[in-house]
Structures are given as structure tokens and as C-alpha cells.
Amino acid sequence: MLAYIGRRALLAIFTVWAISVLSFAIIQLPPGDYVTSYIAQMASMGSVVTDEEAQNLRILYGLGQPIYVQYLKWMRLIAQGNFGMSMEWRRPVTEVIGERFWLTVVVSVASLFLTWVLALPIGIYSAVRQYSVGDYVGTFVGFIGLAVPNFLLALVLLYLGFTLFNAHIGGLFSPELQDAPWSMARVWDLLKHLPIPALILGLAGTAQQIRIMRANLLDELRKPYVVTARSKGLTEIDLILKYPVRLALNPFASTIGYTLPYIVSGSIIVSLVLGLPTVGPLLLKALIAQDMFLAGTIVLLLGVMTVIGTLVSDILLVWVDPRIRIEET
Amino acid sequence: MATPDVALGAPSAPLPGAGLADVSKQRIFVASQWQLMWWRFRKHKVAVASALVVIGFYLVVVGADFLAYADPNASEAQRSLMPPQRVHLLDGWRFSPYVYAVKGARDLQSFKRVYRPDPSEKVPVRFFAKGFEYRFLGLIPTTRHLIGVDGGRDASKTIFLLGTDVQGRDLWSRLMYGTRISLTIGLVGVTMSLVLGVVLGGLSGFYGGVADTLIQRIIEILRSIPTIPLWMGLAAALPREWSILQVYFAITIIISLLAWTELARVVRGRFLSLREEDFVVSARLVGCSQMRIIFVHMVPSFMSHIIAATTLALPAMIVSETALSFLGLGLRPPAMSWGVLLQQAQNVQTVAISPWLMLPAVPVIVVVMAFNFLGDGLRDAADPYGR
């Protein structure tokens, strides 16, 4: 079991490294180097960067040196918690991202949670009552969820909310609490706004999980041990929840690793449509303004967050599925 | 070979009588792999219907300029944000489609243009009408379009099946051209992913060992990275001065760079399962070269699986392009794709006033669904001996 977790952790470290290289590439892609654009930006604002200051920045980021040196210097700065300056906001990147990052985490985790809470009972129901009306409705909604890209779904819901209920369903906070400091009222407000974005983000994943759960459970239900248990007089609900569901749950758990990157990915674009104060809109703005440190940092943080989430789900899987524990030891 | 399923290949409903069942049984034994697949595919009604939908969409790709009736780039301030016009099919009891002439005026209170149909003036819709000049199939210069109205530049005599956008450009015609770009970008992208997937998946599955481990780890890493932020970063770095064609190919490459993993997985799986099959082993024993074993003996036997996996990969490509263009990082106007058209629907206030701007979402959803069902059907049919 330890060997298994160790291997997953090693892979996670490699993934983080790959993501950091890609983020660095994104920072490097636009023409011109950071200091030159910084000076130009400052000049357009009417302030002047002294030669000495510019020289210090050049040394800090290793400009003019080979690309791998620049990468290493950047990594070292990040390890010290210095993500660079956002050119557009003229503030440290960490300050600009701040709360938005945690809200992204909250939205992603909420929709992952919702995916499970919805998919589990619906999947079980669809399998146990195969070909019932409920099963067909579930399958149909599932197909819609898979086929409709989530940002279009967000757009349609936004439109319906606007025209039918004259309510703005976007955002994560009510206008009066938008910039308020954290308090119980604000947390409660967040919780009230969370379900709709979480549902939109999680729908595709939910649809997939329902299909997986249904198929797995159907396989299990045909096995002889179910008949045995039933003939011994176990009540139907005990029987289903205690044995086949637990077995069907395993492949279900292993798909989190693929669901999470999907949700994080989707959260960017859905946030833009719904106007959520996550890192999504910030990333788009940074990319358009070529504010590369901000953009690169956001890509890096999103990647690392996904990797950590996946690692947690891997560890959860070992805990849920004894077969992996035995196989690996 | 597995035991043949009598119902599977029966061309008509199996009739009672041993003689007939024997005939259909024999038909199964002598049928080629593709024939078996076709028989199996045909039974999946939804997949067949989806195949027709997909073919229909690709016909639009071919004949976009014929189906469009207005120049997709012709803007006209007098026709800004005009709602879709209703086409009346019957004039009295005679089939003679017409639309009402439209009068546009500026509302003095809201300063918005409002349009009112004028029932006193009927504008007949003509078939094979003359319109802007184009080359049919890129070869034959012509001015004929499927439909059109005689009105010239008269702002009141127009036909806008799906209304117009802010610049007064006809949404239907733009949608036709957008279909062309959105659907071909999917094809080009999927071809690139396919090449990457088959080569890397093949290496991984055929040789195994270090190459396999390495490629599998790369796939795992790629799959655990959220794709949209990465795509956005790469797409945003494209130089602004690039031409439409350059951006088009760059976007396709960016999308396919991260999209080949699923295809590689399928190919690897097939290679692994076929590597130890009798016919492959015997080919190796009689001294076939590796190239011959791969391309003459192995690839044809999992061709169908590749086709199915490719069909399932296409909708993801189309959605990715739509998403990127919707954000303004993919294709940019004057290029037209579904995502570019949807850009105008980003703002909920605009959409609330002119909901027809959301219509380009409909083909996206229909095509994605059709490809998914088609892929499902193909995947089931790809293994005609299964079950």
C-alpha cells in the first residue's frame, strides 16, 4: 500500500514539474522579455524605471542567461513565495490572485461533491429499476449533460433566469456582500450561490458517473451472491447497499482523477459566463493583456491544485478498495 | 471465432423453418468483417439516425455558400439586431412562401432599433435565386443560392431566417460558413491526434518495456492537467498579425497536442490484445517483417476500433474550438466559426434583448450529440464477434 502511494506521489511530483515547465513556457511565449515590457508599461503610466532597478530585475530573473537558468531562477523565486509582479495591476501576483484562488478551490470541490451526491443515488436507482421511467429520464438527462458544453449550459440558464424569473443567477455573492470582509453572513451567502455553478460544472461528470455506476451495478446484480443473499431473506435495501454497491463503487472512485481536471478546466470558462469571482476571468484578462507572470502563475496553481486533488483521490481509492492494498504489497 | 448469433446477421426477420436459419447462418460465416459490422451497426437505430445527421452537417460544409443567401460579411447598420423573420409557406392555399416586408425605426425612448413586419407588403421567397457571387465546390463560379428574395439593397425587403447580429449581418448565412470552419477544424485536429495517437500508442503497445512505461506516464501526466487554462495560454501567445489560415492551423495543433491520449490508449489496448493472437504469432514465425506484421496483419483488424474512437474524439475537438473562440482566444473575426458567432452572446443583457444570438449553440449541441451516439454505435459494431 505504501509502495502504491509512493508511486502515485512520485507521478504527482513529475506532473507538477511538467506543469511548471508548461507554465514557464507560457510566460516566455510572447515576444520580448519581462523587464522590457515592464519598463514600457511603467513609461506609459508616466513613471520611470531607473537603469539600476532594471538591471536588478534582469539579474533576479536571469534574463540574458540560458533558458534553463531562467527557469531555475523562476522556480527558486516561487519556492520563496515570490510569484512576480502583475504588470496590469502593478501589485504582486499573490495579492492579485488572493481570495480568487480559494474561491476556485471551493467551487471545484463543491461541484465534485455534488457530482457524487447526485450520481450515486441516481446510478443505483437506474440499475435497480432498469428500464423504468426514472431510468430513462436519468439516461436522457445524462446524455444532455454529456452533450451540452458547460459554458453553453451556463449561458442558457443565465438567459432563462433573466427572462423567466428576472433574477441574475451568476456570481458567488450578493452585491452588498461582494467586497465585504468574511463573516458568517458572507459564508452563508456563498453557500446560497454555490449550487448553480456547482451543478453546471458537475453535470457532465455526473452524467458520466451515473452511466458508470449503472453499468457496474448491473454487472454485480447478476452475480450469484446476490441471489444467495436474497434467498437468505435479506431486505432488498440492505442487500443492495451492503454488497453490490460497495463493489460497484470502486471503478467509480478511480474516475475522480479524470473528473477533477475536467471540472477545474470547465470552471475557468463557466466562471466567465456566470461572472464568478474565481481565477477564470483573471486568467483571460491577464492573457489578453499579456500579463504573463499572472497568467503563468494561475496556470501553475490550477495544475498543482488538480494534482493534489488527484493524489488525494488515489489515496482514497486505496482505502476504499482492499484489492489494491493487497496487490501492491 | 465466437458462435454466430443468428439474429445478428439475419437480413429480414428470422422466419420459422430450419432451412432459412441455415441460409442466414451461412451468410454470417462467409460475411466479411465489415459486412458483419454493418449488420450490427444497422440495428442501432439511434446511431443510424445520428450518422444521417452528421452526413447532413458535412453536406452543409460542402455547400455552405449555396445554402447561405446573404454575404456573411456584408454589414448594414439599417438592419442591426433584426429578429428572425417568419416565413409564411402558404399564400391562401397555394404553396408560395413569402415574408412580410420589415420596417425599421429607432425607438425614441430607448434609442434601440425596433422592427415591425408590414403585413400589407409580401416579399416572395424565390428558390435558386440570384445572390452574391461565389464558386460552387470551389470550382464553378455562380450566383445561384437555394433561396433568396428580390430586393437588392432595399432595407425593407429582406429575408433573415435567424435574424441579424449587431452589425446587421445575416446570422443564417454566417452560421452556414461557421459550420464549415467548426466542422473541418474538428476533422483536421482529429487527424493530427490520430497520427500522434497511433504512432505513440502503437510504439507503446507493440514494443512494451521502457517505451510503454514512458508513454503511459506521459499520458497519465497529460490527462491530469486541466486543459482549458493551458490551451488558453498557448492560444493567447499566437501573434496577432497572423492570417486566419495560420491561426486556424495553430489552434488545431494546440488542441490536438493534448487530445491524442485517449486515441493512444485505444490503439495500445488493441496492440496488446492482438500481439499474442495466433495469426500474428504465425506471421512472425514465417518471417514477416515488423512493418508487414503491423500494417498488413494487425492494423486492419483493429481499424474499426480506431474509427470508433476517432468519432468519439471529434465532438471534444469541436467543443474545444468553440470554447476557445468564444473566449476570444481562438479564431478571431473576420473568421467565422460557431464559437466566434457565440461571442456575441456572451453578455446576458444582449441575449435577453436578442435571444436569437444564442442560436449558434444549437448546432454545437446537435453535432456533439450526433457524434456521441454515432461513436457509441460504431464502438458496439466494431466488435461484431463480441456478445
What is the percent of chain A where pLDDT is above 90? 0
User: What are the tens digits of pLDDT across the range B304-347?
Assistant: 788 888 888 888 888 888 888 888 888 877 788 888 888 888 77
**What average pLDDT does this structure show over A45-54?**
74
List the single residue in B with minimal CA-CA distance to A274.
Answer: B348
A159/B351 CB distance under 8 A: yes
Task: Measure the N-to-C terminal CA separation of chain A; round to a whole number of Å.
Answer: 6
Closest residue by Cα to residue A81 from A66, A89, A72, A92: A92
A146/B372 CB distance under 8 A: yes
pLDDT at residue B286, rounded to an integer: 92
d(CA B206, CA B209): 9
* Highest-confidence segment of A74-78, B15-19, B30-34: A74-78
d(CA B74, CA B336): 13
d(CA A156, CA A147): 14
Any idea which of A142-146, A294-298, B17-21, B204-208 has the lowest mean pLDDT?
A: B17-21
pLDDT at residue B13, rounded to an integer: 47
The residue written with cell numbers 464549415 in the block is: B180
Any idea which of A221-230, B116-125, B363-372 has the lowest mean pLDDT?
A: B116-125
The three state secondary structure string of chain A is CHHHHHHHHHHHHHHHHHHHHHHHHHHHCCCCCHHHHHHHHHHHHCCCCCHHHHHHHHHHHCCCCCHHHHHHHHHHHHHCCCCCEECCCCEEHHHHHHHHHHHHHHHHHHHHHHHHHHHHHHHHHHHHCCCCHHHHHHHHHHHHHHHCCHHHHHHHHHHHHHHHCCCCCCCCCCHHHCCCCCCHHHHHHHHHHCHHHHHHHHHHHHHHHHHHHHHHHHHHHCCHHHHHHHHCCCCHHHHHHHCHHHHHHHHHHHCHHHHHHHHHHHHHHHHHHHCCCCHHHHHHHHHHCCCHHHHHHHHHHHHHHHHHHHHHHHHHHHHHCHHHHHHHC
pLDDT at residue B154, rounded to an integer: 61
Give the residue, B202 or B136, on which the prediction is more confident: B202
Mutate to test the interface with A, among B222, B228, B265, B374 (most CBs of A within 10 A): B228
Chain centroid, CA B204 distance in Å: 30
* Highest-confidence segment of B9-18, B132-141, B188-197: B188-197
Backbone φ and ψ of A232, nearest 5°: -80, -5
Q: Is the pLDDT of residue B272 over 80?
A: yes
d(CA B50, CA B245): 30
Q: What is the CA radius of gyration of chain B?
A: 26
Q: Is B258 on the interface with A (CB under 8 A)?
A: no
Tell me if residue B125 falls in helix, strand or coil: strand
**What average pLDDT does this structure show over B204-229?**
83
| Smallest Cα distance from A301 to chain B, Å | 11
Q: Is the pLDDT of residue B9 over 50?
A: no
A138, A122 contact by CB (below 8 A):
yes
**What average pLDDT does this structure show over A104-124?**
88
B40, B377 contact by CB (below 8 A):
no
A14/B348 CB distance under 8 A: no
- C-alpha cell recorded at residue B95: 404553396
Give the residue, B105 or B264, on which the prediction is more confident: B264
Phi-psi region of A49 (alpha: psi -120 to 50; beta: other; left: phi over 0): beta
B228/A170 CB distance under 8 A: no
Mean pLDDT estimate for chain A: 81
pLDDT at residue B3, rounded to an integer: 43
Chain centroid, CA B70 distance in Å: 23
List the single residue in B with minimal CA-CA distance to A166.
Answer: B352
d(CA A248, CA A259): 18
Q: What residues of chain A, 176 to 235, have a C-beta less than 8 Å from chain B?
A: none
pLDDT at residue B202, rounded to an integer: 85
Taking the alpha carbons of B361, B363, B366, B367 in that order, is the dihedral positive or negative?
A: negative
A303/B351 CB distance under 8 A: no
d(CA B134, CA B132): 7
Closest residue by Cα to residue B62 from B191, B193, B187: B187
Q: Is B234 on the interface with A (CB under 8 A)?
A: yes
d(CA B227, CA B230): 5
d(CA B167, CA B164): 8
What is the percent of chain B where pLDDT is above 90? 2
User: What are the tens digits of pLDDT across the range B38-82?
Assistant: 888 888 888 888 899 999 999 888 888 888 877 777 777 777 777
Tell me if residue B374 falls in helix, strand or coil: helix
List the single residue in B with minimal CA-CA distance to A21.
Answer: B230
| Smallest Cα distance from A212 to chain B, Å | 15
Tell me if residue B140 falls in helix, strand or coil: strand
d(CA A38, CA A224): 70
What is the percent of chain B where pLDDT is above 70? 90
d(CA A179, CA A176): 8
d(CA A150, CA B348): 16
- C-alpha cell recorded at residue A300: 501553475
Give the residue, A268 or A166, on which the prediction is more confident: A268
d(CA A294, CA A83): 8
- C-alpha cell recorded at residue B263: 486515441
Q: What residues of chain B, 211 to 230, have a C-beta less than 8 Å from chain A?
A: 217, 220-221, 223-230
Task: Measure the N-to-C terminal CA separation of chain B; round to a whole number of Å.
Answer: 12
Chain centroid, CA A118 distance in Å: 18
pTM to 2 decimal places: 0.80
- C-alpha cell recorded at residue B238: 499566437
- C-alpha cell recorded at residue B90: 402558404
B183, B61 contact by CB (below 8 A):
yes
B270 Cβ neighbours under 8 A, 6+ residues apart = B205, B298, B302, B305, B306
Q: Give the H/E segment covering residue B131.
A: strand B113-136
pLDDT at residue B131, rounded to an integer: 75
- Count contacts between A and B (CB, < 8 Å): 127
pLDDT at residue B53, rounded to an integer: 92
d(CA A157, CA B54): 27
**What average pLDDT does this structure show over B185-201?**
88
Backbone φ and ψ of B128, nearest 5°: 50, 45
| Smallest Cα distance from B232 to chain A, Å | 8
Which class for B171: exposed (0-12), middle (13-18), buried (19 or more C-beta within 10 A)? Answer: buried
A30/B237 CB distance under 8 A: yes
**What average pLDDT does this structure show over A1-7?**
79
Mean pLDDT estimate for chain B: 79
Tell me if residue B89 falls in helix, strand or coil: strand
Write out chain A residues lying below 8 Å of B323, CB-based: 149, 151, 269
pLDDT at residue B153, rounded to an integer: 57
A312 Cβ neighbours under 8 A, 6+ residues apart = none
Write out chain A residues lying below 8 Å of B351, CB-based: 155, 158-159, 162
pLDDT at residue B5, rounded to an integer: 45
pLDDT at residue B22, rounded to an integer: 66
Q: Is the pLDDT of residue B20 over 70?
A: no
B349 Cβ neighbours under 8 A, 6+ residues apart = none
pLDDT at residue B156, rounded to an integer: 63
**Kind of pairing between the strands at B113-136 and B94-106:** antiparallel
User: What are the tens digits of pLDDT across the range B125-170?
Assistant: 777 777 777 877 777 787 777 777 776 556 566 777 777 777 778 8
Backbone φ and ψ of B361, nearest 5°: -70, -30
d(CA A35, CA A274): 35
A285, A88 contact by CB (below 8 A):
yes
Q: Is the pLDDT of residue B16 over 60?
A: no
The residue written with cell numbers 470582509 in the block is: A181
Write down the number of H helices and E strands in chain B. 16, 4
Write out chain A residues lying below 8 Å of B353, CB-based: none
DSSP string, B62-79: HTHHHH--S-TT---GGG
Mutate to test the interface with A, among B215, B218, B321, B327 (most CBs of A within 10 A): B327
| Smallest Cα distance from B361 to chain A, Å | 7
Write out chain B residues lying below 8 Å of A268, CB-based: 226, 228-229, 232
pLDDT at residue B10, rounded to an integer: 43
Write out chain B residues lying below 8 Å of A290, CB-based: 236
